[in-house]
Amino acid sequence: MPGLFITLEGPEGAGKSTQLARLAARLAGRGVPHVVTREPGGTPLGMRVREVLLDPELSIEPLPELLLYSASRAQLVREVIRPALERGKVVVCDRYADSSAAYQGFGRGLDGAFLEALTREVTGGLTPDLTVLLDLDPALGLSRVAARGQPDRLERADLGFHARVRKGFLTLAARDPERFLVLDGARDADALAEDIWRAVAERLG
């Protein structure tokens, strides 16, 4: 694949949105052709699925939850990510398959091997070239999120769930140190943006 595929991951309130905007601004400033997208969402179908997934009024069992995230991802890969990479663009995606492994696997307890097999089908084996994991204590992350307003369905889950998600992300990163850049989300945003840019610039060559 000629382009470069970058994902941002992390537990709630770790500062992904801030860093995504900073990275997009750097790419734009240097005239690098790029696409910024997000999960769940990023396509008309994904936006509909996102509304369902985040609705605090809905009760969703772990398996259908995974399948809904997967539906959004399968569409996004085919409609947006793969075509952009084929055109040589940099694709920056706010969350991707590692979120399903962390939230639905480690968090909800769905089987890891099943999840891996499903992810292969959903993504057609498309794995990020670089994954930035912004790590943060879930108690701190959830307090940041609470300050923003009404929590969504996932943000309402208990602290134990969010602690498993965080540990899940760290476990995934330890398994694949080549792909992951793990950063402390409690650090200053400017310093984080510098570290992320260095890693991206290295891969851009």
Q: Which residues lie near ligand TYD (CB under 6 A)?
A: 12, 16-17, 39-40, 54, 69, 94-95, 99-100, 103-104, 154
Q: Considering beta carbons, is residue 27 or 115 the nearer one to ligand TYD?
A: 115
Q: Considering beta carbons, is residue 32 or 60 the nearer one to ligand TYD?
A: 60
CA distance 175 to 202: 22
Q: Considering beta carbons, is residue 154 or 193 the nearer one to ligand TYD?
A: 154
User: Residue 92 CB, nearest distance to ligand TYD (Å)?
Assistant: 13
User: Residue 25 CB, nearest distance to ligand TYD (Å)?
Assistant: 18
Burial of 83 (0-12, 13-18, 19+ CB in 10 A): middle
Contacts of 124 (CB under 8 A, 6+ apart): 77, 78, 82
Strands 34-38 and 4-9: unpaired
User: Residue 106 CB, nearest distance to ligand TYD (Å)?
Assistant: 11
Q: Which amino acid is at 4?
A: L
Burial of 23 (0-12, 13-18, 19+ CB in 10 A): buried
Q: Considering beta carbons, is residue 157 or 200 the nearer one to ligand TYD?
A: 157
Q: Considering beta carbons, is residue 32 or 186 the nearer one to ligand TYD?
A: 186
Contacts of 205 (CB under 8 A, 6+ apart): none
User: Residue 30 CB, nearest distance to ligand TYD (Å)?
Assistant: 26
Measure the CA angle with vertex 178, ends 201 and 69; round to 5°: 90
User: Residue 66 CB, nearest distance to ligand TYD (Å)?
Assistant: 8
CA distance 156 to 141: 12
User: Residue 2 CB, nearest distance to ligand TYD (Å)?
Assistant: 25
CA distance 161 to 5: 29
Q: Considering beta carbons, is residue 2 or 147 the nearer one to ligand TYD?
A: 147
